[in-house]
Chain A
Amino acid sequence: MTQETVERIKNNPKYQKLVTERSRFAWTLSIIMLVIYYAFIMVIAFKPALLGIKMGMGVITIGIPIGVAIIVIAFALAGIYVNRANGVYDQLSQEIRDELGEGA
């Protein structure tokens, strides 16, 4: 890639849009995941009894649905990202490539 091409792509509004939007989206999702996980770890480290509270009449503690929910959320967040990235963002990056005349 020549310095000239680099400058051209960097100044392309579509490229700027792609980079800003995707990084914001990716970091937001990452932070959501990290906050959930480390909140869980902090509860375990400082107040483990909290997860041992029983739900309703049965023996199941809230720790169990919370644990399973974290697994499900991890998968759901992955799905949300892939859906947007493989659609909107790939479309944008294809357009940038087309404008450069590099074809598919």
Chain B
Amino acid sequence: MKKFLFLSLFIGLSALVYGAGAIEGEIEKQPLNISAIIMFLIFVSGTLGITYWAAKRTKTAKDFYTAGGGITGFQNGMAIAGDYMSAASFLGISGLVYLAGYDGLIYSIGFLVGWPIILFLISERLRNLGKYTFADVAAYRLRQTPIRTLAAFGSIATVILYLIAQMVGAGKLIQLLFGLPYELAVVLVGTLMILYVTFGGMLATTWVQIIKAVLLLSGATFMALAVLSQFDFSLNAMFAKAIEVHDKGEAIMAPGGLVSDPISAISLGIALMFGTAGLPHILMRFFTVSDAKEARKSVFYATGFIGYFYILTFIIGFGAIIMVLNNPEYLDLAKQAISGGSPILGGKNMAAIHLSHAVGGNFFLGFISAVAFATILAVVSGLTLAGASAISHDLYANVFNKSGEVDEAKEMRVSKIATVGLGILAIILGIAFEQQNIAFVVGLAFAIAASANFPVLFLSMFWSKLTTRGAVYGGSLGLATAIILVILGPIVWVDILGNAEAIFPYKYPALFSVTVAFVTIWLISITDNSQGAKDEIKAYDAQDIRSQTGIGAEGASSH
């Protein structure tokens, strides 16, 4: 095991060195980023060390899926925040602020407000009822096979879509930051992620996430302070300067064109809020703490960290307007020659990266680049673990295994095989989608989470009359509606398929697909007069008592 880790570290090292050599031809575009590579190597060796430590503590299935249930509320809050503060949200939101000002804040708020609601309504019930995956909760009193199949399908679809977005983002980012070839970057991310998850399970995944969250929050804090210090900490002076240099002028201080009509606004709000409460890698984190008390604390800390982070990205975006925009050092001259304006190297999502150079020179650029890489690694690890758990715990142990007896060792082996399989799939998809427009992918992942996973999970906990038939029909129809509406919507139908006009006019299908799911579940459940349905309704009381009091809930393991 130890030998293997060192070997892979060595392979990783030589890959980096090789990659660094390979870009010499285009060094003008991307100078070799030595400090970034060194800091990234420190992060990788540190996290592989943690994986080695975690591997020794990961013996049972419970250890593997939930770190033995021994993570504290504070640690889990940090890890949840880490899962949520992906490279896409760090670079994407600061880029959005850089481009459009206030609109970036609207997005952040949408991403955040789901958290308190998850806390009030879901977190403790989830903790009290579940074991390893959210399907444990949904299938608590319903028929195992159909419900777990549905939940696993929803989980795997969400995970794969999210993985594609992360892998393509990782490849492009690393290509740009470190000067490594795209394919190599994708393979590197995939390999490291497989190592973390297969050997260290949830314990390693959680700690990788915590370390990254600390690094990201410290880096972002430093950047925001560096920007503010230039204006003697006067927000007014900072905003005034940004208005002066931005070509949109005062418009950056108010909502712009991001959310154009009420339907889109509400639909986006629903996707962000319910989608968050249906993301399998986030839901799984609730099973890593010892009880409902710690589960609540996790969400409280997570909300704090995420909110703080979004305020930082807002300042960082404005900082980039002031220090990156119109700065000849970051100008993409080639692009400017074609399309005019003042495009920055690597596009708007690089605004935060360029700002790190502007405030802290090459050393700090290296730090932030390494943190961005670490962020992607940590998020894909969490996603893969969630996907692998759906395959091993839901499909293998509870659907395919008809004997009723679950061999834990076998289940864990399946989980590790699934991790490797998902890792390889992620690498292949990451490479296949390099040239594709993947703007719809994260939106689709959120739409599926909101329309298939969330309604079934939510109603299984809150509505005694939910039946298996209702959940299966409603969840499947919600899933199908989300996919079909995204395909017929403006992003895929017009931007990607090249049609003149979208059949479905809105970018975000959640308002419609979530409604379809809830109405179908309700209608099918109340018309379900089968004996099975009656038994399921009768079983609600016992489930409700457990979800309310935690009597009979899974505890933490002793070590």
A interface list, Cβ under 8 A from B: 1, 6, 9-10, 15, 18-19, 22, 26-27, 29-30, 33-34, 36-38, 40-42, 44-46, 48-49, 51-52, 58-61, 63-64, 67-68, 70-72, 74-75, 77-79, 81-82, 85-86, 90, 93, 96-97, 100, 102
Evaluate contact between B311 and A68: CB separation under 8 angstroms: yes
Evaluate contact between B113 and A74: CB separation under 8 angstroms: yes
Query: Which 9 A-B residue pairings sit nearest by Cβ, starting from the closest?
Result: A52-B254, A45-B262, A48-B255, A58-B236, A26-B120, A71-B307, A45-B265, A61-B253, A67-B105
Shortest beta-carbon distance from A48 to chain B in Å: 4
Given contacts A44-B106, A60-B235, contact A37 B113 (CB under 8 A): yes
Given contacts A51-B102, A81-B296, contact A59 B236 (CB under 8 A): yes
Q: Which secondary structure characterizes the binding site on chain B?
A: helix
Residues of A within 8 A of B124 (CB): 85
Tell me, yes or no, whether B329 is within 8 Å of chain A by CB: no
Contact partner, A93, options B113, B121, B541, B549, Cβ 8 Å:
B549
Shortest beta-carbon distance from B463 to chain A in Å: 13
Residues of B within 8 A of A68 (CB): 311
Evaluate contact between B116 and A78: CB separation under 8 angstroms: yes
Evaluate contact between B545 and A1: CB separation under 8 angstroms: yes
Q: How far is the CA of A63 from the CA of B121 in the complex (A)?
A: 29
Tell me, yes or no, whether B194 is within 8 Å of chain A by CB: no
Q: How far is the CA of A59 from the CA of B269 in the complex (A)?
A: 28
Q: Which of B218-259 contact A (CB under 8 A)?
A: 235-236, 239-240, 243, 250, 253-256, 259
Number of A-B contacts (CB under 8 A): 163
Tell me, yes or no, whether B508 is within 8 Å of chain A by CB: no
Tell me, yes or no, whether B300 is within 8 Å of chain A by CB: yes
Q: How far is the CA of A22 from the CA of B125 in the complex (A)?
A: 12
Shortest beta-carbon distance from B224 to chain A in Å: 13
Proximity bits, B116-133, A CB within 8 Å = 1, else 0: 110111001000000000
Evaluate contact between B119 and A63: CB separation under 8 angstroms: no
Tell me, yes or no, whether B196 is within 8 Å of chain A by CB: no
Tell me, yes or no, whether B22 is within 8 Å of chain A by CB: no
Tell me, yes or no, whether B109 is within 8 Å of chain A by CB: yes
Interface size class of B (residues with CB under 8 A): 35 or more
Evaluate contact between B548 and A19: CB separation under 8 angstroms: yes
B interface list, Cβ under 8 A from A: 102, 105-106, 108-110, 112-113, 115-117, 119-121, 124, 235-236, 239-240, 243, 250, 253-256, 259, 261-262, 264-266, 269, 273, 292-293, 296-297, 299-300, 303-304, 307, 310-311, 314, 541-542, 545-546, 548-552
Shortest beta-carbon distance from A70 to chain B in Å: 5
Residues of A within 8 A of B297 (CB): 82, 86
Evaluate contact between B259 and A74: CB separation under 8 angstroms: no
Given contacts A26-B120, A40-B109, A59-B250, contact A82 B548 (CB under 8 A): no
Evaluate contact between B311 and A74: CB separation under 8 angstroms: no
Contact partner, A30, options B121, B266, B311, Cβ 8 Å:
B121
Residues of A within 8 A of B261 (CB): 45
Shortest beta-carbon distance from B505 to chain A in Å: 15
Contact partner, A46, options B112, B120, B262, B542, Cβ 8 Å:
B262
Given contacts A63-B254, A71-B109, A71-B307, contact A78 B551 (CB under 8 A): no
Evaluate contact between A74 and B303: CB separation under 8 angstroms: yes
Q: How far is the CA of A96 from the CA of B183 in the complex (A)?
A: 58
Q: Choose among A10, A19, A86 the residue with the greatest number of B CB atoms under 10 Å from its CB.
A: A86
Given contacts A10-B545, A71-B307, A79-B300, contact A59 B259 (CB under 8 A): no
Q: Which residue of B lies closest to A79 (CB)?
A: B300
Q: How far is the CA of A32 from the CA of B292 in the complex (A)?
A: 23
